[in-house]
Amino acid sequence: MADVITYRQAVAEGIAREMRRDPAVVCLGEDIGAAGGVFRTTAGLHEEFGPGRVWDTPISEQAIVGAAMGAAMTGMRPVAEIMFSDFLACCWDYLANEIPKVRYMTGGQVTVPLVVRTANGGGLGFGAQHSQATENWALTVPGLKIAAPATPADVTGMMAAAIRSDDPVVFFEHKGLFATKGPPAPPDHVVELGHAAVVREGDDVTLVALASMVPLALTAAERLAEEGIDAEVIDLRCLVPLDAMTVLGSLAKTSRLVTVEENPYQGGWGGTLVSIVADEGFGLLDAPVRRVAAACVPLPFADVLEAEVIPSVDKVVAKVRDLTAY
């Protein structure tokens, strides 16, 4: 095994591991077969498993996710790719009305073990319809599990957990992280959904981040360390199940909280997290909570404009400095 692999290779590796161990795992999506995926996240799957398990589809997002649902209800474990997370809107009926509700409204008769994978987020100059961080869309619907890994090893380990999950999982892969590298996951690596990781320990402030915001928060923490502020960084890894206890546990030590979100402030997951903290952890706080999030605008195209909208290391550092006044 190589010493390091990229995040994008970890996606394909995670899927391949599960396809090797379980013949019920099949993939479908646009350009995922011989082409290997437009982000090369399914590279090698077609060669190893053939067209009988890796199926190219038309540009038909409703049919992709709807068919995955029907297959999941009848004994398969489909992994469906929606190329860009913006396109989830094209099959939103399945994610909002069908997949998360069928188990409940049938009184538990039907289970839907599927994974919908998608490339999420901005920072690459793809413009307003190919750059959104959309994990909050899924967060509004009871019945969907939401995974958003930040490292190659977590990609592979969380993919294993997602595919083995008997519940539907929306798996957000971050476009801005595809080229990043890290140690590969060890054999049989499974990262259970709903377990946040403390990726940097610190005593002064807790930074909670997700996906591409994790390396950004870590960089901010290094800058803050130079100023004598010791930040703890939590990689949330999943929005559902949400590991609120790890966040509350960290606050018991640091007493200060900043959430770092790429999605717009309006309706962002940080709002849910800080409401839990306000409700259950108010006594732990020595300062107001702060949220760093994207501006509430569509993502612009130009680098300079996009950088203005998405959170940056500077913005995180500035927010944390604010809190030291308390």
Partner 1 sequence: MTGATRTPDGRETAELLALYEEMAVIRRTEKAAHDLFLSGLVKGTTHLAAGHEAVAVGAGAALRDDDYVFATYRGHHHALARGATPEECLAELMSRASGLCGAKGGSMHLTKASGNMLGSYAIVGAHLPMAVGAAWSARLRGTRQIAVAFFGDGATNIGAFHEALNLAAVWKLPVLFVCENNLYMEYTPIADVTAVANPAADRAPAYGIPGETVDGNDVVAVREAVARLAGRARAGDGPGLLEARTYRHYGHSRADPATYRPAEEVERWLKHDPLDVARGRLAGLGVPAETVTAADARAEAVVQAAVEAAKKAPAPDPREALTDVWADGGARWRT
Catalytic residue IDs: 61, 130
Tell whether residue 279 is a contact of partner 1 (CB under 8 A): no
Q: Is 166 in the site for partner 1 (CB under 8 A)?
A: yes
Q: What are residue 207's DSSP bridge partners?
A: 233, 258
CA-based nearest residue to 18, from 7, 27, 28, 31: 27
Measured distance CA(120)–CA(58) in Å, rounded: 21
- Kindly state the smallest distance separating residue 108's Cβ from partner 1, in Å: 4
H or E segment to which residue 54 belongs: strand 54-56
Q: Which span sits near partner 1 by CB under 8 A: 126-134, 150-158, 209-217, 239-247?
A: 239-247
Does 78 participate in binding partner 1 (rule CB under 8 A)? yes
In whole angstroms, the minimum distance from the beta carbon of 97 to partner 1 comes to 5
- If binding is defined by CB under 8 A, does position 187 make contact with partner 1? no
**Angular region, 44: left φ>0, alpha ψ -120 to 50, beta rest:** left
* 241 contributes a contact to partner 1 by CB under 8 A: yes
Part of the chain binding partner 1 (CB under 8 A), chosen from 40-48, 110-118, 199-207, 312-320: 110-118
193 scored as a contact of partner 1 (CB under 8 A): no
Q: Minimum CB separation from partner 1 for residue 168, in Å? A: 9
HEC profile for 142-203?
CCCEEECCCCHHHHHHHHHHHHHCCCCEEEEEEHHHCCCEECCCCCCCCCCCCCCEEEECCC
Going by C-beta distance under 8 Å and a sequence separation of 6 or more, which residues neighbour residue 228?
A: none
- 97 in contact with partner 1 (CB under 8 A): yes
Q: Candidates 59-67, 206-214, 290-298, 302-310 — which segment interacts with partner 1 by CB under 8 A?
A: 59-67
The CA radius of gyration of the chain, in Å to the nearest whole number, is 19
* By CB under 8 A, residue 104 contacts partner 1: yes
Q: How far apart are CA 79 and CA 29, in angstroms?
A: 9
For partner 1, the binding residues (CB under 8 A) are 26, 52, 55, 57-58, 60, 62-63, 65-76, 78, 93-94, 97-98, 100, 102-111, 113, 142-143, 165-167, 194, 240-246, 276
